[in-house]
Amino acid sequence: MSGEAVTISAIVPAFRAEALMPRVLAPLIAMRDRGEIAEVIVVDDVSPDATAEVAARLGARVLEMERNGGPGAARNRAAREAAGDVLWFVDSDVIVWDDGALKVRDAFVDPAVAAVFGSYDATPDGQHWFSRYKNLMHRFYHQNAERDAQTFWAGCGAVRRDVFNRIGGFDIETYKVPSIEDIELGYRIRHAGGRIVVDPTLLGKHLKVWTPKSAIHTDIFRRALPWSRLMIAREGVHNDLNTSHGEKAKAVIAGLLILSVLALPFRPGLWPAPLVLLALALWANRAFIRFMHDNGGAGFALRTFLYHQVYYVYSAAAFAWCMFEYHILGVKDRLHVP
């Protein structure tokens, strides 16, 4: 089915999103009213606030879960009842740009395309440097990704409904909390022969405000560990997004840099090593540094570069642990994220 002919159902899984609904739904409702999408479905995941009532008042079609099951279960519920040929998933803290439906439709002009996803824009809500870093880091990887992807992103991503149904939707048994259920879905789409494309112009503003505590917990326990286990047990390590060969090399450099700094009090004669490794890290991350500089100036670029080395180390440590767990301890089926 060509892009011109497809109909689109926008699906927003929501939990405790009462305050966000007016901003998130406004562009989607406008697209529906312009005839660019067929419907806007909000799935309320047993919110204790007035998420469902606000969404209904704003004009969305509201489905209510019987029990809290996480965004994957909410998306699956909406997919079963959606009318569109394409399921456009939008997180409840993402405000899509006004041309989003047109970008989605354009992607499906190619009948080989089974799914498309986009990127955060450059203006996240949280203005603290760390929160901006986390959101802009996500944007950096998606903006610089190869057009053909091996995974999927459900923050602002669309899938042909027939493909989604054929592969069984999101795996809500393995991923009971928000985690890598969209990445795993992407692997199954690719294995079924579908093409997944990244469109860096399909944009959304991210409203989530990150703190170091929330980011590190999410990075390790909701991303690095489950993604590493999935790659090791089922898929192999793909040259894609932030698991590319270049990213792995940068992680090695970051680890050596931090180890060399920690060794200085014991081996001061090794002082040239940190300088050499720092220069190498700066060179390897030059595109990242330039990107952060363009979005926040020199001070912001310096802070983000330094923290990014720490991010590399704990992400690589998580992968190393999973390799040890799989090959040495023999734990080969620990994919569940409770």
pLDDT of residue 56: 99
Rounded CA separation 159/151 (Å): 12
> What pLDDT is stored for residue 333 in this prediction?
74
pLDDT at 166: 98
Q: What is the pLDDT, as a whole number, of residue 242?
A: 64
Q: Decide: helix, strand or coil at residue 231.
A: helix
Note the helical H segments in 144-285: 161-167, 181-191, 212-217, 225-230, 245-263, 272-284
What pLDDT, on the 0 to 100 scale, is given for residue 5?
83
CA angle (3, 13, 214) in 5-degree steps: 120
Residues 6 or more apart in contact with residue 281 via CB below 8 angstroms: 250, 253, 254, 257, 305, 309
- C-alpha gyration radius of the chain: 21
- Cα distance between residue 324 and residue 175, in whole Å: 22
CA distance 127 to 107: 32
- Domain definitions of the chain by residue range: 8-209, 211-338
Asked if 89 and 157 count as a contact pair (C-beta separation under 8 A), the reply is yes
Contacts 24+ apart (CB under 8 A), 216-219: 216/314, 219/311, 219/314, 219/315
Its CATH architecture, for the domain 8-209, is: Alpha-Beta Complex (3.90)
Segments of the chain scoring below 70 in pLDDT: 1-4, 235-243, 336-338
CA distance 104 to 8: 8
| Predicted pLDDT at 330 | 82
> Using an 8 Å Cβ cutoff, are 233 and 180 in contact?
no
Task: Kindly provide the residue ranges of all beta strands, DSSP E only, lying in 4-133, ordered along the sequence.
Answer: 8-14, 39-44, 61-64, 86-90, 94-96, 113-120
